[in-house]
Amino acid sequence: MVSRAHSSNLFGEEATSPLGGEPLAFVEVGTTPDVDLLAPLRIAVDRTWVLPQIDSARFDALVTVRANAPAPWVSVVPQRLEAQLAKVAAQVAAAPVAATMLARVLRIGENLKFEDALTIESLAYSTLLGGSEFAAWRARNSDLDPGHQVASPVRYGREGDDVTLTLASPDNRNAMTVAMRDALWEALANVLEDPTLPMVTIRADGRCFSTGGHLPEFGSASDLAAAHVIRMRRSAALLLHRLGARATIRLHGACIGSGIEVPAAAAYRIAARDTVIQLPELRMGLIPGAGGTVTVARAIGRHRMLWLVLGAFRLGAAQALDWGLVSGLEP
C-alpha cells in the first residue's frame, strides 16, 4: 500500500517554481489567517506595528513598519514600505533562479560548519555563472573598461607582532581583481602560518575600502568546475575565519559585494562613519560568491541578509553596528 503525504502539493510547488512560476510570496502577518506557504521565497510583512508571533523559520525575510524592531525583523519606514516591496518584487522577477537559489543556500548554510557552508555557496555561484540570468547581464555589459591594474595590489607592513595589509589600488577603487584576491590570500596565509602568531589588520588606500569584484573579470572563467575549486582554495574569507581573534578590518567608504563579504569573516570589524555597505549581486543574476552567504549571514542573520540582497539596499555605518555587521565605529 502506498501512503500519500497530505502535506505534499507537487502541482502547487510547480506553479511557484522560479522557472516560469511565481516564486515570491509576500505574506501579510497579523491580519490574515495562517496560510500554506508553497512559494520557495517567502517574506513576512507586518503592518500592525506589534510584531505578531510567527515561526520565523518558515520565512526567508521579515519586514515591519515598527521602528527598531529586533532581529530577525527588518524595520522599514511606513512611507517607504510599498516602494521597497516593489523593488524586491522587481529584482526577483528579473532573476528568479538566482533569488530562490540564494534563499536556499542561506537556509542550508545556516546549520553547516563554516567551510562546508562556503562550499555550498561556491557551488551555487558556479552554477549561476552558467545560467541565462548572468548571461543576460554579461550581454548588457560586454564593453566594460578593465581599468588600471597595479603591480602590487596589497601592501605588507609589520611592526613587532602587528602586521598591516593594505589594499593598494585606489585608482580602481580597490576592486577585488583576481590579482588582488590572490595577493590578499597569500599575505593572509603567511600570517596564519607564521609561528610568532602576529596580529593582522586590513585597511585600504583611497576613498573607499573596496567596490568588490572587478566587473570586467566576471564570467571570464571558461571552466566553471575549476573556478569553484580555485574559489575555495583562494578564499580570503576562510583564512580570516581561521585567524579568529587575531584579525581586524578597518572599513571606510564604499564596501560593496566582496568588499564586505571578505571583511565580515574577521573577528573585529571597525567602520568609519562614512561606510556604506551594499550587496548588488542579484542584479547580475548571481548571489554573493566571496563568502557573504556565510560571513554576512552569520553576523546579521539569514533573514536580514536576504532582504539586503533582494533589494540591493544600502546599509550605513550606524545600522551596520546596530545589526552586528560591524563591531565598532571609528571615533
Query: What's the confidence (pLDDT) of residue 199?
Result: 98
Three-class SS state of 115: helix
Distance from C-alpha of 36 to C-alpha of 328, rounded to nearest angstrom = 42
CATH number for region 98-140+154-329: 3.90.226.10
The partner residues of 157 in beta bridges, in order of sequence, read 164
The cell for 3 is 501512503
| Average pLDDT over the chain, rounded to an integer | 92
Report the pLDDT averaged over residues 319-328: 97
Check whether 162 has a pLDDT greater than 90: yes
Query: What's the confidence (pLDDT) of residue 230?
Result: 93
284 near 218, Cβ under 8 Å? yes
In percent, the amount of the chain with pLDDT more than 90 equals 80
Query: What's the confidence (pLDDT) of residue 33?
Result: 53
- CA dihedral (120, 317, 280, 124) in degrees, to 10, reads 0
Check whether 148 has a pLDDT greater than 90: no
Check whether 83 has a pLDDT greater than 50: yes
Report the pLDDT averaged over residues 4-13: 55
- Please report which confidence band the pLDDT of residue 10 belongs to, taking 50, 70 and 90 as the band edges: low
Please name which of 208, 218, 303, 215 lies closest in space to residue 260, comparing C-alpha atoms.
208
In percent, the amount of the chain with pLDDT more than 70 equals 92
CATH 3.90.226.10 residue spans of the chain: 98-140+154-329
What's the whole-model pTM score? 0.93
Check whether 126 has a pLDDT greater than 90: yes
Three-class SS state of 329: strand
